[in-house]
Chains A and B, each alone.
Chain A
Amino acid sequence: MRNILLVAKREYLEGVRGRAFRMSTILVPVVFAVIIAVAVFAGKNSGVGKHVLIATTDSNLAADIQSQLTDDKDSKTTVDVIVPSSPSERDSLVSKVREKEIDGLLWIDTAVPSKITATYISTSSGDIVIGSRLESALNHALAAERLSARGMSKAEVELVMKTVSVDTMQVDKGGKEVKSSGIGAYLKGYIMGIMLAMTTMIYGMNVARSIIQEKTSRIFEVMLASVKAGDLLAGKLLGIGAVGLTQLAIWGVAAALLAGSAFAAPVLNGQLSIHLSITEGLLFGAYFILGYLLYASLFAGLAASCETEQELQMYTPLAAVPIWLSFSLIWLIINNPSSFWSIAASLFPATAPIVMMLRMGAQTPPAWQFAASLAIMVVSVWAVLWVSARLYRVGILMYGKRATLPELLRWLRYS
Chain B
Amino acid sequence: MPVVELASVTKAYESKVAVNNLSLSIEAGQMFGLLGPNGAGKTSSIRMMMGITMPDSGQVNLFGKPFERKSLERVGYLPEERGLYKKMKVIDQLIFFGELHGVSAADAQTRAVSWAKRLEIADSLTKKTEELSKGMQQKIQFISALLHDPGLIVMDEPFSGLDPVNATLLERTLLELKDQGKAIIFSTHRMDQVEKLCDSICLINKGQAVLAGRVREIKSRYSRDRVIMEFEGDASFLQSPEIAEANNFSGHAEIQLKPSGDAQKLLHEAAAKATIYRFELVEPSLEEIFIQTVGGKADA
Contacts and interface: CB of A to CB of B under 8 A. Distances in A.
> Does B bind A?
yes
Interface of A: 3, 6, 10, 14, 18, 214, 217-228, 397, 399
A6 B99 contact: yes
B72 interface: yes
Interface stretch (B80-88, B253-261, B262-270, B274-282): B80-88
B96 A6 contact: yes
A219 B73 CA distance: 18
Interface string B65-107: 0000100110101011111111110000000110111000000
B100 A3 contact: yes
A225 B49 CA distance: 10
Given A3-B100, A10-B96, A225-B50, 14 more contacts: A6-B99, A18-B87, A214-B83, A218-B79, A219-B83, A221-B52, A221-B79, A221-B80, A222-B97, A224-B51, A225-B52, A226-B73, A228-B69, A397-B53
B111 to A, nearest CB: 16
B140 to A, nearest CB: 11
B141 interface: yes
A43 B101 CA distance: 61
B144 interface: yes
16 contacts: A10-B85, A10-B88, A18-B87, A214-B83, A218-B79, A218-B82, A219-B83, A219-B84, A219-B85, A221-B52, A221-B80, A222-B97, A224-B50, A225-B79, A397-B52, A399-B81
Interface in B134-155: 141, 144
A225 B77 contact: yes
A10 B87 CA distance: 11
A217 B86 contact: yes
Interface of B: 47, 50-53, 69, 72-73, 75, 77, 79-88, 96-97, 99-101, 141, 144
B144 A222 contact: yes
Contact of A226 (B87, B97, B141): B97
A227 B73 CA distance: 10
B81 A218 contact: yes
B141 A222 contact: yes
Q: Which are the 6 A-B pairs with shortest beta-carbon distances?
A: A219-B83, A218-B81, A218-B83, A221-B79, A225-B77, A226-B100
A9 B126 CA distance: 19
Contacts of A18: 87
Nearest to B50: A225
A199 to B, nearest CB: 22
Contacts of B85: 10, 14, 217, 219
A222 B83 contact: yes
Contacts of A224: 50-52
A219 B144 CA distance: 12
B100 A227 contact: yes
A79 to B, nearest CB: 64
Nearest to A225: B77
Contacts of B72: 225-226
Contacts of A397: 52-53
A217 B130 CA distance: 11
Given A14-B88, A225-B77, A220 B83 contact: yes
Contacts of B77: 222, 225
A218 B81 CA distance: 6
A378 to B, nearest CB: 28
Contacts of A399: 81
Contacts of B100: 3, 6, 223, 226-227
Contacts of A218: 79, 81-83
B83 A217 contact: yes
A227 B100 CA distance: 7
A343 B48 CA distance: 51
